[in-house]
């Protein structure tokens, strides 16, 4: 037999002989791979999720054309599109869609009308439509929300005309047809409005299905260059700019704690080595006495690792596919996300590098020992405190802390790394100190005589302590980020200070403010509001925002509850508008007052250069203020389109305003209702996060158990001797309990210190990936962290105890 073949057999035997350990190793490695793949692939996964979300909403539609408040034209002729651009489109669907006032059971509220020819609606949502002229189809959500059934009467108003219809069918929510939407035949609607059928080819929203031979962006460009359509809003259903920036946003949150998670994963990996290398010294000794090269066992060891890694990688990939796609399934989307090859290869590389390096070090260490000792030394691994390193790290920490040599991101990173190293060693020192205190006590006990020695010297106990700490810290951080995400919604609502907003105003005049004052209104002001703008900091860096507002600066704070900081009026001029940006932009984009940035507000207002004159006291990316309304140059294009309103009786004013202004196609926003949609995305992320958290915790559970088991293996020979001498189950329980208490005390003290440090530095670390959020550890997260790690530790000690009770004295005394 060749040496090579023998190595493979040897490696395979090592795996198959210890089925339990192999199982634990493969399980842990699979989880590690899964976590790494999820972590590294997060950005592209989020993109996929958003893409699927968009594709699900619009199904076959690739491009939407509609008008908005900026355009004069309000109807689009479908016939022209079909004829002029025949070869580009597989389908051209012309809809007349409106947000309008609906009345059922004497209740008035906004709904969305979809109207077209039946065949068009059938194509849009892929369902068969069968209703009469005076019937509507509503969504199932609509029917439960307002308690409506087929046959109920249904009234709605378009301009000041009243339409009395009957509910003819109820459809499941699908594609764009969701929430409070209903469908009616376009012929009957248009006839009701204009009493003619001449307009049947017109619509205000066109859904286009681009043929496979053309690229969507090319078609958009062609349409934008056509004079007939230049006034409309033409947009792709899958908006990559938006998807990219959102994905970056979300994955940044993960990557921020990713550093700690990565550290935790490395420690998890590290904890596998003592298991795999359990017989390493003995095997090396034997092979060496037989005249073999120590590389022999090294190779066997690596082959063994590769076998584990290969199996685990496959399982990890499958697992991460399941997790990712489960998330999508829960959201009711259809589609399948494949994980791209890069995160998989990267995870593999990280694990292989670590395993290679770690094994190499282990062998180097073993090779320094004489062969004679390899064959006879069976003592446990001794823990050594590395004082020079501790002193070195402390020095760096203290110097960096006081003198700030590096930029905030690096500063925080250095502090995190140093503090983790120091506190881990502090924990060990504390354990040694406490154990020595116990040794000094007068009363003799099994714990004092026997366990204390292990606490001071055994490497696995100290490793256990670290694993426990890193688990605790990771859990606290993960929960903190989770609650941060959840609170983001509250923070958003805290800022919104207006009770109602009248938007989509296309012919504003001052009279409006006076006209609306009849509705208990305490405050109202005119403003410009754009909902989808992009800020360009330079050619590569940009950021979309949802709440671009331009209005009298003194009134702004009435409607948006944020302070303004660092405002400098030297940047206020008549020619260049200024902006106030969320204060996190300052750090993320390295801005200073006076910097110029470029805004794209809408297709009429593009590439507008503005100067940064101050910051808004928020870390939410969505809010931007500008004084553009005051600048002459833009006044003809940047028109008042919104009135913000404060009122004593929201419901009353709301109903009144709807009544009076919906016929002008103004849209009345009640923030409580309106913004829920905007926030939907956050939820899917928190859910994804929950799965991630669960896996991380599972990983820690295994590792904590593993480490306890390793401690047990180390202590077993001694335990048996004590057992032979007559120690009872109760004696062992008491001894383990004391050890447990000692560990818990240390974890609480050191854990709190480290959580405090990390909590203050986390936001700085995230800055390294161009992201800034004020994330810090929350009390509930800390409590969860302690409860979970405490419970796992208790469970692992009970398991430990059980193992002691089960030990077969005879089995263990036998040598081989």
Name the residues that contact another protein, by CB under 8 A. 1-3, 6, 9-10, 13-14, 17-18, 279, 282-283, 285-293, 296, 370-372, 375-376, 814-816
Question: Is the CB of 540 or the CB of 811 nearer to another protein?
Answer: 811
For residue 488, the minimal CB distance to another protein (Å) is 53
Contacts of 36 (CB under 8 A, 6+ apart): 265, 316, 343, 346, 347, 350, 351
Question: Is the CB of 304 or the CB of 647 nearer to another protein?
Answer: 304
Name residue, tokens 């034209």: 73
Q: What letter would DSSP give residue 771?
A: -
* Tokens coding 229: 């359509």
For residue 307, the minimal CB distance to another protein (Å) is 14
Per DSSP, what are the bridge partners of residue 521? 647
Question: Is the CB of 281 or the CB of 482 nearer to another protein?
Answer: 281
Which among 180, 100, 107, 163 is positioned nearest to 658, based on CA atoms? Answer: 100
Question: Is the CB of 403 or the CB of 816 nearer to another protein?
Answer: 816
Cβ atoms of 534 and 600 closer than 8 Å? yes
Q: Is 626 left (phi over 0), alpha (psi -120 to 50) or beta?
A: beta
Whole-number Å distance between alpha carbons of 572 and 614: 11
Question: Is the CB of 279 or the CB of 407 nearer to another protein?
Answer: 279
Question: Is the CB of 19 or the CB of 440 nearer to another protein?
Answer: 19
Question: Is the CB of 9 or the CB of 794 nearer to another protein?
Answer: 9
For residue 1, the minimal CB distance to another protein (Å) is 6
> For every residue of 145-195, which 3-state class applies, written as one string?
HCCCCCCCEEEEEECCEEEEEEEEEEECCECCECCCEEEEEHHHHHHHHHC
Cβ atoms of 643 and 527 closer than 8 Å? yes
For residue 450, the minimal CB distance to another protein (Å) is 23
Whole-number Å distance between alpha carbons of 530 and 545: 9
Kindly tell me the sign of the dihedral angle through the C-alpha atoms of 645, 651, 657, 662. positive
Question: Is the CB of 730 or the CB of 814 nearer to another protein?
Answer: 814
For residue 368, the minimal CB distance to another protein (Å) is 12
For helices 779-806 and 459-495, what crossing angle results, to 10°?
150
Whole-number Å distance between alpha carbons of 224 and 235: 10
Whole-number Å distance between alpha carbons of 91 and 80: 13
Question: Is the CB of 12 or the CB of 333 nearer to another protein?
Answer: 12
Question: Is the CB of 296 or the CB of 484 nearer to another protein?
Answer: 296
Kindly tell me the sign of the dihedral angle through the C-alpha atoms of 508, 511, 512, 513. positive
Do β-strands 623-626 and 578-582 pair in parallel, antiparallel, or remain unpaired? antiparallel
Whole-number Å distance between alpha carbons of 456 and 477: 30
For residue 459, the minimal CB distance to another protein (Å) is 19
Q: What letter would DSSP give residue 532?
A: S
Whole-number Å distance between alpha carbons of 763 and 741: 33
Whole-number Å distance between alpha carbons of 604 and 44: 32
Question: Is the CB of 291 or the CB of 726 nearer to another protein?
Answer: 291
Please, what is the Cα angle at 263 between 260 and 267, to 5 degrees?
140
For residue 11, the minimal CB distance to another protein (Å) is 10
For residue 800, the minimal CB distance to another protein (Å) is 23
For residue 362, the minimal CB distance to another protein (Å) is 18
Question: Is the CB of 13 or the CB of 404 nearer to another protein?
Answer: 13
Cβ atoms of 723 and 807 closer than 8 Å? yes
For residue 807, the minimal CB distance to another protein (Å) is 16
Please, what is the Cα angle at 220 between 529 and 250, to 5 degrees?
55
Question: Is the CB of 245 or the CB of 282 nearer to another protein?
Answer: 282
Whole-number Å distance between alpha carbons of 651 and 506: 24
- Distances from the Cα of 664 to the Cα of 158, 480, 659, angstroms: 9, 47, 10
For residue 282, the minimal CB distance to another protein (Å) is 7
Question: Is the CB of 1 or the CB of 779 nearer to another protein?
Answer: 1
Question: Is the CB of 362 or the CB of 747 nearer to another protein?
Answer: 362
Per DSSP, what are the bridge partners of residue 157? 101, 162
Please, what is the Cα angle at 404 between 400 and 408, to 5 degrees?
110
For residue 372, the minimal CB distance to another protein (Å) is 4
Do β-strands 135-139 and 161-171 pair in parallel, antiparallel, or remain unpaired? parallel
For residue 288, the minimal CB distance to another protein (Å) is 8
Whole-number Å distance between alpha carbons of 710 and 21: 11
Question: Is the CB of 97 or the CB of 288 nearer to another protein?
Answer: 288
For residue 9, the minimal CB distance to another protein (Å) is 7
Question: Is the CB of 272 or the CB of 502 nearer to another protein?
Answer: 272
Quickly count: other Cβ atoms within 10 Å of residue 672's Cβ: 11
Quickly count: other Cβ atoms within 10 Å of residue 19's Cβ: 9
Cβ atoms of 320 and 30 closer than 8 Å? no
For residue 309, the minimal CB distance to another protein (Å) is 19
For residue 465, the minimal CB distance to another protein (Å) is 26
* Tokens coding 543: 């950021």
For residue 287, the minimal CB distance to another protein (Å) is 7
* Tokens coding 358: 């770690």
For residue 291, the minimal CB distance to another protein (Å) is 3
For helices 19-40 and 676-724, what crossing angle results, to 10°?
160
- The alpha helices in 195-293, defined as continuous H runs, are 216-224, 240-270, 273-276, 280-289
Contacts of 191 (CB under 8 A, 6+ apart): 197
Question: Is the CB of 381 or the CB of 558 nearer to another protein?
Answer: 381
Cβ atoms of 175 and 144 closer than 8 Å? no
């Amino acid at each position: 037999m060749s040496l090579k073949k023998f190595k493979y057999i040897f490696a395979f035997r090592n795996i198959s002989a210890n089925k339990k350990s192999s199982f634990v190793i493969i399980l842990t490695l699979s989880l590690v791979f899964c976590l790494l793949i999820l972590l590294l692939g997060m950005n592209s996964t989020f993109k996929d999720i958003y893409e699927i979300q968009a594709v699900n909403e619009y199904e076959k539609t690739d491009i939407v054309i509609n008008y908005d408040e900026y355009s004069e034209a309000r109807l689009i002729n479908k016939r022209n599109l079909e004829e002029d651009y025949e070869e580009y489109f597989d389908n051209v669907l012309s809809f007349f869609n409106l947000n309008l006032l609906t009345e059922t059971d004497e209740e008035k509220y906004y709904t969305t009308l979809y109207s077209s020819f039946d065949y068009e609606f059938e194509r849009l949502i892929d369902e068969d439509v069968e209703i009469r002229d005076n019937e509507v189809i509503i969504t199932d959500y609509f029917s439960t929300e307002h308690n409506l059934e087929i046959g109920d009467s249904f009234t709605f108003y378009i301009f000041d005309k009243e339409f009395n219809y009957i509910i003819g069918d109820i459809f499941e929510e699908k594609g764009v047809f969701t929430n409070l939407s209903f469908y009616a035949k376009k012929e009957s609607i248009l006839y009701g409005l204009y009493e003619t059928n001449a307009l049947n080819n017109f619509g205000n929203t066109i859904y286009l299905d681009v043929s496979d031979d053309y690229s969507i962006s090319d078609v958009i460009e062609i349409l934008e260059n056509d004079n007939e359509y230049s006034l409309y809003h033409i947009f792709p259903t899958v908006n990559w700019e938006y998807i990219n920036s959102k994905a970056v946003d979300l994955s940044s949150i993960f990557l921020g704690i990713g550093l700690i998670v990565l550290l935790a994963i490395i420690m998890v990996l590290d904890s596998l080595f003592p298991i795999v290398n359990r017989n390493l010294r003995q095997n090396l000794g034997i092979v060496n006495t037989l005249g073999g090269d120590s590389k022999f066992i090294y190779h066997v060891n690596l082959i063994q690792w590769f076998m584990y890694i290969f199996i685990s990688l496959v399982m990890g990939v499958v697992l991460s596919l399941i997790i990712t796609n489960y998330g999508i399934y829960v959201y009711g989307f259809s589609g399948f996300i494949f994980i791209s090859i890069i995160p998989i290869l990267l995870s593999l590389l990280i694990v292989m590098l670590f395993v290679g390096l770690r094994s190499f070090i282990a062998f180097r260490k073993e090779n320094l020992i004489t062969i004679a000792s390899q064959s006879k030394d069976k003592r446990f691994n001794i823990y050594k405190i590395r004082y020079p390193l501790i002193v070195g790290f402390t020095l760096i920490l203290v110097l960096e802390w006081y003198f700030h040599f590096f930029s905030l991101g690096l500063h925080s990173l250095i502090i995190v790394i140093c503090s983790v190293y120091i506190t881990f060693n502090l924990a060990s020192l504390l354990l040694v100190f406490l154990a020595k205190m116990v040794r000094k006590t007068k009363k003799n006990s099994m714990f004092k005589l026997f366990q204390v020695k292990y606490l001071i010297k055994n490497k696995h106990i100290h490793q256990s302590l670290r694993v426990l700490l890193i688990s605790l810290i990771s859990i606290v951080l993960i929960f903190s980020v989770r609650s941060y995400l959840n609170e983001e919604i509250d923070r958003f609502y805290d800022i919104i200070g207006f009770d109602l907003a009248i938007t989509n105003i296309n012919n504003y005049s001052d009279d409006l403010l006076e006209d609306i004052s009849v509705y208990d209104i305490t405050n109202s002001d005119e403003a410009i509001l754009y909902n989808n703008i992009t800020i360009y900091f330079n050619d590569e860096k940009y950021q979309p925002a949802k709440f671009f507002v331009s209005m009298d600066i003194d009134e702004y704070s009435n409607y948006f509850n944020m302070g303004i900081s660092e405002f400098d009026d030297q940047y206020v001029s008549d020619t260049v508008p200024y902006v106030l940006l969320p204060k996190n932009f300052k750090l993320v984009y390295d801005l200073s007052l006076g910097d110029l940035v470029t805004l794209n507000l809408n297709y009429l207002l593009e590439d507008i250069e503005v100067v940064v004159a101050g910051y808004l006291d928020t870390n939410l990316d969505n809010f931007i203020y500008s004084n553009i309304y005051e600048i002459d140059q833009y006044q003809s294009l940047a028109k008042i389109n919104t009135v913000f309103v404060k009122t004593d009786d929201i419901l009353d004013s709301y109903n009144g305003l709807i009544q009076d202004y919906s016929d002008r196609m103004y849209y009345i926003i009640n923030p409580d209702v309106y913004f829920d949609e905007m926030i939907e995305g956050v939820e899917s992320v928190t859910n994804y996060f929950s799965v991630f958290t669960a896996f991380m915790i599972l990983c820690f559970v295994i590792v904590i158990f593993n480490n306890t088991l390793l401690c047990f293996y180390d202590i077993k020979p001694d335990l048996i001797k004590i057992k032979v001498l007559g120690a009872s189950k109760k004696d062992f329980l008491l001894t383990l309990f004391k050890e447990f208490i000692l560990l818990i005390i240390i974890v609480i003290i050191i854990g709190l210190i480290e959580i405090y440090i990390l909590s203050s530095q986390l936001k700085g670390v995230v800055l390294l990936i161009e992201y800034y959020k004020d994330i810090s550890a929350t009390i509930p997260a800390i409590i969860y962290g302690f409860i979970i790690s405490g419970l796992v530790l208790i469970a692992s000690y009970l398991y430990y105890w059980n193992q002691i009770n089960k030990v077969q004295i005879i089995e263990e005394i036998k040598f081989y």
